[in-house]
Amino acid sequence: MRTLAFASRNLKELIRDPMMMIFSVGFPVVLLLLFTAIQSSIPVSLFALDSITPGLAAFGLSFISLFSGMLLAKDRSTSFLMRLFASPLTAADYMIGYMIPLLPIAVAQSAICFLLAFVLGLPVTANVLLSILVLIPTAVLFIGIGLMMGSLVNDKAVGGISSIIINVSAWLSGTWFDIKLVGGTFKKIADVLPFVHSVNAARAALSGDYAAILPNLAWVSGYAVVILAIAVVLFRRKMSSDKI
Amino acid sequence: MKAIVTTDLVKKYKNKTAVDSLSLTIEEGELFALLGVNGAGKTTTIKMLSGLTAPTSGDAVLLGDSILSNTQAVKQKINVSPQETAVAPNLSVRENLDLISRIYGGSRQAAAAKTDEMLNTFGLTEIAASKAKTLSGGMQRRLSIAMALISNPQILFLDEPTLGLDVLARRELWAAIEKLKGKMTIILTTHYMEEAEALSDRIGIMTKGRLTAVGTAEELMKQTGTDKFEDAFVALATGTEAIR
């Protein structure tokens, strides 16, 4: 009950922030329209809808790190979190309360991306639902990254660090170009990090290549669990520290 | 029953002792004011008593529960109005009150009824739908105190509740606090001599982390041989003898 009350407050704070709607939904939508327009003007298949849409859906989720981080860091910067820390809310209540509202937002973001892709010509198949589901661990990963940042730094720093993370995750995701084309150290780094695996898993789900989903999904899920665990530890430490 | 009994409560930050061997007893239903200059240890004392920061040594028992061994039970009985206004900015006045009521375990119906009661008591009904961030400083402070009261706390901590308010808003808050006297135990920190004198049953004066005097305003004036409470405060705040 108290967790849901806190989650409901966080959802209201998030959806009442117009910047969240612009970045998390508007930005990927504009990019999808742009790349579709580019694709229609070139003879080779560079930005085909079945390839670019899962990538843009994953890219949209990276903004979740910005919003979860900002929400927590802003709460820390005001006395509001002090008020809550003096209440009977537990560390688990906080972490679940911050996460719960972000998950439906993440699913809605992906769904909007795919709905637009349908309008632009992506075939309507059940695999789209699977692709959206496969992106959930990616959403958890970015929520965890955000909560980790929000526990460590102030809201201004969250903005700066998030933009680095969003850029790194975009470049190393294989959404805009094939990582194999660059090869070398760049590919090795991309393979170690979870971002390309997020996009690969979503693409595999969409194309019906079910065998390719699990290895990529396991990689992303592993990162998500570890990052979330670190975020929980950092937040618990912050709760008991002298300086919120 | 004693509302608060502290025994040799100490808080150290690196080399600085913020609160030094605080031993104090506050009766149930009492309004106790903690006075002191900046850095005297008032807010640190409130943070320890409300479970926001752990003491370096010593203990405090609030209505039978230790802040060290039974923090959750303590948190259920208390509420805090922090020094800075602590409201959720994007939530309406009603939503802020409802949130706190539900966090303290109130059902949806009970929270709604309690919210209406608080809106009425604190004259917030007309602005119930306004977002907290749009309110004046005085109204935000009033909301902040209403949020601290909505859980029906047995012990209420008011950390400099009238700081930065104009004289009219301050008088209005005084009237609201006056109405609470006897219904719950209130610990009030303040810089304003007249506030402590007008509202409190007893006053404790803190200097450099130590409690240097405790008594009614009259007792403290008599103790220092002064006619004005402000003169008594200056005499006691600059003295070095501690009450044990």
Whole-number Å distance between alpha carbons of A209 and A183: 24
What are the tens digits of pLDDT across the range B175-223? 888 888 889 999 999 888 888 999 999 999 999 999 999 999 999 999 9
Q: How many CB pairs under 8 A join A and B?
A: 78
Q: Do A9 and B99 touch (CB under 8 A)?
A: yes
**Under 8 Å CB-to-CB from A200, ≥6 apart: which residues?**
A174, A212, A216
**Region A204-217 average pLDDT:** 95
Residue B183 is encoded by which pair of tokens? 């219904």
The residue whose two tokens read 């959806």 is: A15
Q: Is the pLDDT of residue A241 over 80?
A: no
Q: SS3 of A65, please?
A: helix
Query: What does the alpha-carbon distance between residue B127 and residue B212 come to, in Å, rounded to a whole number?
Result: 43
For position B242, what pLDDT does the model report? 40
DSSP state of A101: T
Query: What is the 8-class DSSP label of residue A22?
Result: I
Question: For B54-87, how does the pLDDT look when each residue is reduced to its tens digit (9 = 90+)?
Answer: 999 999 999 999 999 999 999 999 999 987 878 9
Are residues B102 and A5, on separate chains, in Cβ contact within 8 Å?
A: yes
Asked whether the beta carbons of residue B86 and residue A6 sit closer than 8 angstroms, the reply is: no
- Can you give the pLDDT at residue A243? 63
Give the tens place of pLDDT for each residue, A117-165.
999 999 999 999 999 999 999 999 999 999 999 999 998 999 999 999 9
In terms of Cα–Cα distance, which of A110, A141, A150, A115 is closest to A13?
A: A150
Task: Please indicate whether, in this complex, the C-beta atoms of B78 and A86 are within 8 angstroms of each other.
Answer: yes
Burial string for B89-123 (b: 16+ CB within 10 Å, else e) reads bbbbbbbbbbbbbbbbebeeeebbebbeebbeebe
Residue B206 contacts residue B191 (beta carbons within 8 Å): no
**% residues pLDDT > 90 (chain A):** 67
pLDDT-above-70 percentage for chain A:
99
Residues in B touching A8 (Cβ below 8 Å): 99
Smallest CA–CA separation between A2 and chain B, in Å?
A: 4
Q: What is the mean pLDDT of the segment spanning B168-176?
A: 84
Q: Pairing mode, if any, of strands B16-27 and B155-159?
A: unpaired
Q: Has residue B88 got a pLDDT over 70?
A: yes
Q: Taking 90 as the threshold, does the pLDDT of residue B170 lie above it?
A: no
Query: Is A12 at the interface with chain B, CB within 8 A?
Result: yes
Neighbouring C-beta atoms of residue B43, cutoff 10 Å: 22
Tokens 């009614």 locate to B216
Asked if A83 lies within 8 A of B82 by C-beta distance, the reply is yes
pTM: 0.83
Q: Report, as an integer, the average pLDDT of B149-178.
A: 87
The dihedral formed by the CA atoms of B194, B199, B204 and B209, expressed in degrees to the nearest 10 = -70
The pLDDT value recorded for residue B244 is: 37
Average pLDDT over residues A56-79: 90
- For A212, list phi and psi in degrees, rounded to 5: -85, -10
> Which residue in the block uniquely carries the two structure tokens 């999808």?
A32
Distance separating alpha carbons of residues B237 and B244, to the nearest angstrom: 16
- Asked if A15 is an interface residue toward chain B (Cβ–Cβ < 8 A), one would say no
Tell me whether residues B88 and A80 touch, CB distance under 8 A: yes
What distance in Å separates residue A5's CA from the closest CA in chain B? 6
Could you tell me if B78 lies within 8 Å of chain A, comparing CB atoms? yes
Q: Mean pLDDT of all residues in chain B? A: 90
Q: B34 pairs with which residues across the strands?
A: B189, B204
Asked whether the predicted pLDDT for residue A1 surpasses 90, the reply is no
d(CA B141, CA B147) in angstroms, rounded, equals 10
